Structure 1
Amino acid sequence: MSQAPPQLPFSTSSLPPSLASLLLGSLPDYAELHCISNFTFLTGASHPEELIERALALGYRGLALTDEASVAGTARAHHALKTLRERTCEAVERSAARLARMAAGASPDDADDDDEYDDDDNEMWLAAPSSGPGAAAAMADSPAGGAVQPEFLRRHARLLARAEAAEAFRLLIGSRMTLQAGEGKGKGEATGELDLRQRKVSSEVPPEAPSEVPSEVPSGIRLILLAQDREGFGNLCELITLGRRRADKGSYQLYQHDISDPAAEEAHLRGMPHCLALLLPDYCADPDTLRAQAQWCRAVFGERVWIALELLQEHADALHRERLEAVAADTGVPLVATGAVQMHVRSRKPLADVLTAIRLGQPLGACGMALAPNAERHLRMRQRLSRLYPREALAQTVRIAQACDFSLDALRYEYPEELVPKGHTPSSYLRQETLAGAALRYPDGIPQSVRQRLEDEFALIEEKGYEHFFLTVYDIVRFARGKGILCQGRGSAANSVVCYCLYITEVSPEQTNLLFGRFISRERDEPPDIDVDFEHQRREEVIQYIYEQYGRHRAALAATLITYRARSALRDVGRALGIDPGVVEQVVKGQAWWESGHTFVERIARYGLDPDSPAVRQWASLVAQLRGFPRHLSQHVGGFVIARDKLSRLVPIENAAMEKRSVIQWDKDDLESLGLLKVDVLALGMLTAIRRALAMIPNPNPAHPQLPCRMEDIPQDDEDTYDMLCKADTVGVFQVESRAQQSMLPRLQPRRYYDLVVEVAIVRPGPIQGGMIHPYLKRREMVRRTGKLPTYHNEVIRRVLGRTLGVPIFQEQVMQLAIDAAGFTPGQADQLRRSMAAWRRKGDLKRHQDALIKALTRNGYPEAFAQAICKQIEGFGEYGFPESHAASFAKLVYVSAWIKCHHPAAFLCALLNSQPMGFYSPSQLVQDARRHRVRSLPPDVTVSGWESVLENDAVRLGLNRVKGMREAAALRIERARLERPFASVEDLVLRAGLDRHDIDVLAAADALRSLAGHRRQARWQARAAAVQAAHRDLLHSAPPAEGALALPAPKLGQELVDDYASLGLSLKAHPLTLLRRRLAGMGYATARDLARLPNGRRVRACGIVTVRQRPGTASGTIFSSIEDETGSVNVILWPDLVERQRKEVLGAALLGVVGTWQRQGEVRHLIAKELVDLSPLLGRLVAGSRDFH
């Protein structure tokens, strides 16, 4: 696909030669062909976006992004270039409109429209090439003629020049790599001569590679490969995949024979057709090695190879240039100028050095020659390049750039097709399966409204060509359901009746009035997004099915980019600068996750450092630069890319850290920007817990009580369940167990399913920022108190906002309002929705808002109403939930709440067996269950299995709760116990084949009490039994053992310490039970005592910190929970207190709080005024909190 620039919507001409000379001098055209970004991890010191913008500013004709065996940064560079082009074109259009207004008589101030794209950026002006667009002609062509002030004409001309430069700029896609020498490959020699100066770079399909296999170069070969077209990009991706899949995560292994030997693993990559090659010679290589490398390249690539001449102002530049010129003359491989670029500006040199030190794991002072001797590895001014390089070497760069005619826009996703059986088209098969599912969903007959929605969706799906996509997701879900794996689609897919009938989602859009345009629209040229949650403990079965069904060459997970945050940047930069490791760790521990990296300077004096010292200032500066830098690629939580053919020709694939996993080199944002399909196969712990709980309880459905209980058998609108929710008794309940949700439930008082939909969505940054919570709650309270519904401007508003009492809470409501009240098309409404989600990042919401305001006022709505709607829209930029998402989650809220309400023991057992998941630790779950009269029994080798089980009305903890216990040993215990009960610890050790480690951890967990008595006695017998088992043959003739030694039982305090150390919880007592007398003497009340107090009372409370939360919308406020033996207390910590007592806020395990008790109905919390760290009272008994979960 060509990158030839489209015709601009304005006329331009050439600059007068005198003006060009004056402004730019006699500058050569140049394209940088060797440039790495920070996606060459811990080497490149600039983001791809920075490199693109800087190259344009310097007037480059193109830039090749050539990260090491990677194209991970190319999507961002591509998007950055497209964005720059759009911005410059829009700036020109606005400028032309301004000139027209001025020509019509408007003053400059009145004509000014606050152009956000400042044309006074001197560097960007350099983007005008010497043969570029014309200022003089622009002045002549402008609508103002002589009536417009010259400064505005000159400004317009500069914008024209910048726009043409951006349109003509080429982004080349390539990669740098090292080819090692291999063994046992064919040999041959390169022959032939080539005229360096007359040679033209061909963009046509290259000839076949030479038949002979060239001799390998023992020292290895460093290359840059550039894709000429779509075929070349596919070859490049395949080669990178080959090297990455051979090696562990983060590395690659490529050999010279991979692209030179016809018998190689991927023979079609021989000679790398449709790619151009640049040999990167070692600066210190001897002439013979250089000649051998060039001859090998000439033999492999023919005329598609150049030698990179890199002159970086080092001491041997002249000698290096002489050598390469001689090699070029001898081998016929021409020279081309490149810059070995690692950063966009020279000021990034200190950061580049720090990255080198981090990569080597050494302080800067020990890196020596590994550090670059100067800052020349940046994008340099063309004047400087013209003084350093031969003009012909510079000219070659532009010829190469022009020969590379590939853009990522050429990529087209092709869906898997094998799911369609013979005799069907994709449309007919999708229709058949959907209607079959509809018959099951609607056993009494499919309603006409549903049939009409199905037909509408079928038509749009067929028009957009998405049938294979739906069938692919359907195939995955069908497999999971066939294996008994709970799953449920969510997100925008819940807007689709087709998805509902295919059992991809569980919410009927027809019942909840969801908006299909949120999922698919005619105007949006990208695939829909379907997220499906699976049980987290069984999702791997689904993932491996996908690999088996489609093959690893066609399916892989999307990447997730792991970036530096404040703490990791502080630690790595501090070590690189050689700062005392103890001080670095203190600073890191004192840095809260929400703070930027430079804030530590304000507190640095506490650690014995001068905040004004150059070293500390440099530390802060480098941390600020490093934050947000890529650290490495990880795997997405479940986003799968599945292709019809080889996925590795679309994007490189590499090994993940997890066994049997592979990932592509682009993340979800890259895929979205390129319009590529991703199917989200996500993990949800609550689905695991629900499936486990349902297996333990009787079926409540009277129609078939003998069948296993299913989610659909649970009765709807259960009063007891809603009573429990209204009291915020929701520890362990899906989505409504957080501090914020527990505070909202008593205020919202949910009594039906749709109330839960609102509850899930309203405690989100979007509704909070949009100011929607208080108006909604006030109207809800008014309706509850008076029975009167709000009045609406008209029926349209009532139909759209009536279900949320006139307050827009969901994105779909704003979209529907735009369609019904403002006359937007579904596609325009979807663009408005997308701008909501990205307005802080992209800043393009205003134009959509302006259009909405104009349309609403034109249709008779008051401007104040339109402005209020737009204000609320901005709130959705902070992660407002779509209604479809909330509707899907609300079902799980209700099901999990019903189980907790009616079967609390099964609920606890299921949660314990589903760990890790949820908001609360197992200790907190057990404490909460105890308050609901659920008994928990300790692990015991005579009855416990690996997992926890119901034992009558109690929960018997499984051996998996024992820290250090191995599942294989637990299973051996179970098998041996089935034969006959254990008679003693020795019998257990011998028959279950336990080693010293196994028996020690069981004794430490008090799991041998039935066989050996208390913990001390058990430990003694366990060690004796382990010794006897290990030396059975030696002890066979020994005298009989003496009777068991009677040891004193440990005290309760020691038992609690040992319980927490081995189980992470204790069933004997709450830790504060032992401290209650002492705490009471210090004036601390219990949670039970506080609950009885009136509003406004000054109180003192103390508890183990179980939760710390700092929502992004809370302006620095932290919400915490402290727990004692009688319950929990919610604590609010205002920002000034957080800053004043940050050590206590962040570090205390046992926290004393002095403050004001606030109570309003069922909403109770403690406003903290002073904090006391009482952690020393716990000794070794420290329970971990769920911080900022």
Structure 2
Amino acid sequence: MYLNCHTYFSLRYGTIKPEQLLAIASENGVQTLALTDINSTSACLDVMRLSKKYKIKSVLGVDFRNRAKQQFILIAKNNNGFHSINNYLSKFLHNSDLQIPERPDEAIQDSFVIYPYQSGKDFELKPNEFLGITPQNLNRLKFSKWNQFKHKLVVLKTVSFQNKKGFNTHRLLRAIDNNTLLSKLPKSEEGSENDVMLPYNELCETYAEFPKLISNTEQLLQRCKTDFNFENVAPKNQKCLTDNETSDYQLLKQLTYDGIPYRYGTDVEQKVYDRIEKELNIIKQQNFVSYFLINWKILKYARSKDYYYVGRGSGANSIIAYLLRITDVDPIELDLYFERFINLFRQNPPDFDLDFSWRDRDDITNYIFKTFKHTALIAVYNTFKFKASVRELGKVFGLPKAEMDKLTRGKYKLNQLDKLSQLVIKYATYIQGFPNYLGIHAGGILISEQPIHYYCATFMPPKGFATTQFDMVVAEDIGLYKFDILSQRGLGKIKEAVEIIDANYTEQPPIDIHDIKGFKKDERIKDLLRNAKAIGCFYVESPAMRMLLKKLQVDNYLGLVAASSIIRPGVAKSGMMREYILRYRYPEKRKEAHPVLQKIMPETYGIMVYQEDVIKVAHLFGGLDLGESDMLRRGMSGKFRSRDEFLKVKQKFFDNCIKDGKPEALVADVWRQIESFAGYAFAKGHSASYAVESYQSLFLKAYYPLEYMTATINNFGGFYSTELYVHEARMHNATIEAPCINRSFNQAIIKGTTIYLGFMFLQSLESKTIHRILNEREKNGTFQSLDDFIERVPISIEQISILIKINAFRFTNINKRELLWEAHLKISKTVIQDDVITLFKTQRINYNTPELPSTDLENAFDSIELLGFSLCNPFFLLEKPSISNLRAKHLIKLENKLIIIEGYLITTKNTKTANGKIMHFGTFLDRDGDFLDTVHFPPIAAKYPFRGKGIYSIIGKVMVEFDCVTIEVSKMERLAIIEDPRYAVKSLNPTFQNKRSFTDLKRAIS
């Protein structure tokens, strides 16, 4: 009976959650409803999946509107009709310039069309077209010509909200969407307060005078049946890469055996062949053959373009993936658990996360869309966040900015706020989590056997690739499993570093960056790992990882693989990180492991470190079968973590263990560890893939630190800001030069041991200015003077001032203050245009400018303004001399001593204690450039907060644990730096003087 139901995926209009819509319908005795969100199919599959739970038949369609104005409703008779509707809607979603017409295309198949009743319009309705009569239209209908054509009329009772609060929320959402005050929201942009669901009997009573409308509506709904199978979901990805499944399997088998010499040489152990046969059989049985082949084809293209990539995810446990060069992880060497990668209970294919350089990924995506017929990116639902909602609603209610700032900071007591502010908080809380707009998943791509529009409509974001209207969870519910094409800067760093090295060391053979076996034995790399000197290196440079490596003193591949997973929240929060460190460093502690756990996980001393450890323990310790263990795997998966897979098997785990005679306390502790993995952990193959990339970057850092840091700077670093990577290069004896007109390029370059920063690091320097400089220099050689530069490069005074202030004209040996005067006198303030070549050059007038020396301090402040950091030691800028001679290297001998030391803040990490109080971890540099690590417990964190970038005086107790030093802070304050000399009264720099005095002086010089 309900042909026009909206969820909150009618973005910024509807206010009902998809499952809530079904619950409301069930409560009201409604057995059939049509889900017709406004220009959206996001909720369709989810509602279909949940309908069985509420014993409701769901019909699918779309409410086509231009903003809030309803044009017509299309309802699918069957799956083909839904496909046709999605094709039609996508046409408008791909082109925002198109307006939805009053009537749909005739080409739409297997669908019903329902028009809103509009008095005075002459409709010639086709057999599949009907006129929708709302309760408000009933009296008017009695006197309308349509009263004579009741067979073409249906009930149109729109459902957009549940109650009055829902309607109020709807109006607020419409005001946000229209960017207007609530009081100025046009009635035409909002729905009716009556757009709520009535009990089925009450709706029938409303239309009792027109029983034909009720029967028409029921017959229409009865004729509709869309069906998507959500049980025992077989993969619906592209079925074959070749002509058929048989030839696909033959190709996979051939590629597998062809890959053996490359990976294992000629002396191959029998267990390699055994593993291959086992995997091939189960991959075929589970219909995952094409999934492997598609990944192989994508990466074959990547290698043809010389793109660096890393294949990771649970698929890295597969020897087939290793032999097809999808991953670089040998599951035989690492003894990777086959059942984590795949088993007969697993319905979805294993994960392959394919990482590419951020420079290469778009081309890979473009290749996929060109190569595979039915392809789309996956959407994410960008939801209303509380603080953003407070601001949006504050604007709707007309609150002043100061009041909105107070509300977003949480500095208020609710009962002391005025009525409007209370409403803002009330409704911001209510809409928190509502979808606001659709975005793009970080890397998920669907490659489907059926056209994507068989499942949903697509929209076209600025990226230029068709994108689904549902997210990856809905996609997997229907059997569409994504291919993850991701980007990371680590690969860009590695590739660029290799290019720089090959260009600068032409006399030596090219680097084989894929010689991982050699890297694992390299003593320099071992030394970097043991001493945690890995700044700039992928995944091992963060403060937490740096400290973990130091505690473990790990210097081998397997140790690094374990560390990559131990650092994850699941292991860390369970308390097993500390236990692992103890057992790693002190072999006698390993005896404390339970014998069964020690046997299951000998490599990690009986401690669960990887996701597959959970499956092993559940299966071998807890007596669960592999199907039940696979539930735990899904429970550990980020996308399903909110579901209750863990709870489904918890009781059976306990019952099995108690029946087997295991102590209750032990069983409870093991289950506690298992549950902690719901808070993230890595599969071992995934960690091993990360470790491979870590070794590549560690090799470059060990042997070519300056080239590697140059590449790191150009790829915008990693965990830290550019400033720290510049500092790290300096710590390896590099000379850092500010951008230079004649030597610098867009990116940083290295000449010997000198790194010239690139123009792209100058804030506010326009890309067109950089292009003009480099283009002119390439064509006609270096610049000889400021006059020569001005003559050859069209540039504004604002842009040349940036270059002069960063001292980019230092080759002239003229003080930059004098150059600024000259530039102001010689450059016109007219619109800049490219120079026209003339026969004769105009002789420029040279003015006698005053001698205006600049200082190193002024240079430092200029670089802070233009680069974001100083090129000098920041400690030189302190207002008062240092009162402490302590350095980081002294602290190891001062355990439990109260000390005072100064540190330059690099980064902070905020976290919460078990009782929800805020605490911090800080990372600083001392005066020598070495790291200081601090811990700020809640009372100190509240009393002495961080106050932004700068140098801090830190008082605290030195703590040493596993040779790793931290300072437990008891007091902290940021130290004052000297006054910026550029703004001092005595400054004569023309860029900082008032306009009148500069004009007067210019006139006087002229």
Q: Whole-Å Cα distance in 2 between the matches of residues 333 and 1171 of structure 1?
A: 80
Cα separation, partners in 2 of 1:477 and 1:966, compared to 1, 3 Å:
farther
**Is it true that 1:497 corresponds to 2:319 in the alignment?**
yes
What is the rounded CA distance, in whole Å, between the counterparts of 1:324 and 1:225 in structure 2?
26
Match of 2:87 in 1: 238
- Counterpart of 1:562 in 2: which secondary structure? strand
**Distance in 1 separating the partners of 2:976 and 2:390:** 27
Q: CA deviation at 1:535?
A: 0.8
- Pairing of 1:9-24 with structure 2 (within 5 A): none
List aligned pairs for 1:288-367, cutoff 5 A.
Answer: 288-289=120-121, 292=122, 294-295=123-124, 298-299=125-126, 302=127, 304-311=128-135, 317=136, 321-323=139-141, 326-332=144-150, 334-367=152-185
Change (3 A) 1:69 1:374: closer
Which residue of 1 is the match for residue 456 of structure 2? Answer: 651
CA distance in 1, matches of 2:22, 2:783: 72
Aligned residues: 969
1:65 and 2:35 aligned: yes
Distance 1:402-1:562 versus aligned 2 partners, 3 A rule:
same
Shift of 1:357: 1.5
Tell me how far apart the structure 1 counterparts of residues 235 and 183 of structure 2 sit (CA, whole Å).
49
In the alignment, what sits opposite 2:725? 925
Q: Which residue of 2 aligns with 1:694?
A: 498
Amino-acid identity (%): 22
How far did residue 1090 of structure 1 move? 6.8
Q: Report the alpha carbon displacement of residue 919 of structure 1 after superposing the two structures with TM.
A: 1.2
Query: Once the two structures are superposed, what CA deviation does each residue of 1:708-751 show, in whole Å capped at 9, x if it has no partner?
Result: 43232652233333333333333222222223222322212212
* Change in CA separation of 1:847 and 1:1037 when aligned onto 2, cut-off 3 Å: closer
> 1:209 maps to which residue?
none
Equivalent AA in structure 2 for residue 403 of structure 1: R
Q: Which of the numbers 1125, 1130, 1147 marks the counterpart of 2:933?
A: 1130
| Residues 1148-1163 of structure 1 mapped to structure 2, 5 A cutoff | 1151-1160=952-961, 1162-1163=963-964
Residues 1027 and 779 from structure 1, CA distance in 2 versus in 1: closer, same or farther, beyond 3 angstroms? same
How do residues 1005-1024 of structure 1 correspond to structure 2 at under 5 angstroms?
A: 1005-1011=806-812, 1013-1023=814-824
Q: Does 1:43 align with 2:16?
A: no
Aligned AA (1:709): D
Q: Does 1:724 align with 2:528?
A: yes
Q: Secondary structure at the residue paired with 2:583?
A: helix
Q: Which residue of 1 aligns with 2:1001?
A: none
Tell me by how many angstroms 1:530 deviates: 1.7
User: Deviation string for 1:426-472 (max 9, x for gaps)?
Assistant: 10011112222222111134432121111111111211222222111
What is the rounded CA distance, in whole Å, between the counterparts of 1:78 and 1:1147 in structure 2? 51
Q: Deviations over 1:187-238 (max 9, x none)?
A: xxxxxxxxxxxxxxxxxxxxxxxxxxxxxxxx99621212222111111111
Per-residue deviation, residues 517-537 of structure 1 (Å, max 9, x unmatched): 223322222333221001112
Deviation at 1:508, TM superposition (A): 0.9
Q: Distance in 2 between matches of 1:818 and 1:1092?
A: 42
CA separation in 2, counterparts of 1:1178 and 1:802? 61
CA distance in 2, matches of 1:864, 1:729: 41
Query: 1:512 is paired with a residue of what secondary structure?
Result: coil
Residue of 692, 697, 707 corresponding to 2:510: 707
Cα distance, 1:1173–1:580 mapped onto 2, change above 3 Å:
farther
Counterpart check, 1:616 vs 2:448: no
Contact 2:954 2:973 in 1 (8 A): yes
Matched, 1:830 2:830: no
Q: Who is 1:471 aligned against?
A: 293
Question: Does residue 1118 in structure 1 map to residue 967 in structure 2?
Answer: no
- Please state how far the C-alpha of 1:587 moved relative to its aligned partner: 3.7
Query: Which residue matches 1:403?
Result: 223
Match of 1:746 among 533, 550, 572: 550
Alignment of 1:672-821 (within 5 A): 672-697=476-501, 706-712=509-515, 715-783=519-587, 786=588, 789-790=590-591, 793-794=594-595, 797-821=597-621
Q: Deviations over 1:1135-1178 (max 9, x none)?
A: 3444556xx44756665544433333542223334454557868
Structure 1 pair 323–386 and aligned structure 2 pair: CA distance change class (3 A):
closer
Q: Which whole-Å deviations, capped at 9, do the CAs of 1:7-39 have from their partners, x for residues lacking one?
A: xxxxxxxxxxxxxxxxxxxxxxxx432121221
- 1:556 and 2:349 aligned: no
Cα 1:793/1:1096, change in 2 over 3 Å: closer
Report the secondary structure of 2:113's partner residue: strand
CA contact (8 A) 1:178 1:222 kept: yes
Structure 2 match to 1:434: 256
Equivalent in 366, 382, 401 of residue 544 of structure 1? 366
Contact 1:768 1:1113 in 2 (8 A): no
Change (3 A) 1:177 1:372: closer
Distance 1:1088 1:707, change over 3 A: closer
1:288 match: secondary structure:
coil
8 Å contact from structure 2 (residues 141, 147) kept in 1: no
Shift of 1:837: 4.0
Task: Answer yes or no: is the 8 Å Cα contact 2:737–2:755 preserved in 1.
Answer: yes
Q: Are 2:58 and 1:229 aligned?
A: no
Cα distance, 1:474–1:256 mapped onto 2, change above 3 Å:
farther
Which residue does 1:948 correspond to in 2? 748
Note closer, same or farther for the CA distance 1:171–1:807 as it changes in structure 2 (3 Å cut): same
TM-score, length-scaled by structure 2: 0.89
Q: Tell me: CA distance 1:1027–1:986, structure 2 relative to 1, closer, same or farther (3 Å).
A: farther
Residue 254 (structure 1) aligned to one of 100, 103, 109? 100
How far is the alpha carbon of 1:632 from its aligned partner?
0.7
Q: Relative to 1, partners in 2 of residues 1:422 and 1:412: Cα closer, same or farther, differing over 3 Å?
A: closer
Pairwise mapping of residues 517-666 of structure 1 onto structure 2 (< 5 A)?
517-550=339-372, 554-588=374-408, 590=409, 600=410, 603-604=411-412, 611-644=416-449, 646-658=451-463, 660-666=464-470
Contact 2:822 2:847 in 1 (8 A): no
1:453 maps to a residue whose letter is R
* Match in the other structure for 1:116: none
Give the distance between the partners of 2:142 and 2:534, measured in 1 at CA.
73
Over residues 538-571 of structure 1, what are the superposed CA-to-partner deviations in whole Å (9 max), with x where a residue is unaligned? 11111111122235xx222111211122221121
C-alpha separation in 1, matches of 2:899 and 2:388: 39
Report the equivalent of 2:991: none
Is residue 279 from structure 1 mapped to residue 115 from structure 2 by the alignment?
A: yes
Deviation at 1:1034, TM superposition (A): 11
CA deviation profile, 1:754-773 (whole Å, cap 9, x unmatched):
11112111122111233311
User: Which ranges in structure 2 are unaligned for 5 or more consecutive residues?
Assistant: 984-1006
| Unpaired runs of at least 5, structure 1 | 1-30, 86-165, 181-218, 261-269, 312-316, 591-599, 1183-1189
Could you give the per-residue CA deviations for residues 956-991 of structure 1, whole angstroms, max 9, x where no partner exists? 222222223455554554454444332223323444
Is the Cα contact below 8 Å between 1:523 and 1:827 reproduced in 2? yes
Structure-1 separation of matches of 2:336 and 2:325 = 17
Please give the alpha-carbon distance, in whole angstroms, between the structure 1 residues aligned to 2:804 and 2:261. 57
CA distance, structure 2, for counterparts of residue 719 and residue 948 of structure 1: 30
Q: Which one is further off, 630-639 or 949-958?
A: 949-958
Distance 1:1054 1:333 in 2: 85
RMSD across aligned positions (CA)? 3.4
Q: Quote the Cα distance in structure 2 between the aligned partners of 1:1025 and 1:484.
A: 49
| Aligned twin of 2:987 | none
**Superposed, which structure 2 residues align to 1:404-423 within 5 Å?**
404-409=224-229, 414-416=236-238, 419-420=241-242
Pairing partner for 1:893 from 679, 690, 694: 694
Matched AA of 1:953: T
- Distance of 2:280 and 2:481 partners within structure 1: 19
Read off the aligned partner of 1:685 and give its amino acid letter.
R
Equivalent residue of 2:642, what SS? Answer: helix
Q: Partners of 2:173 and 2:79 in 1: how far apart? A: 34
Which residue identity lines up with residue 1118 of structure 1 in the other structure? Answer: H
SS at match of 1:1131: strand
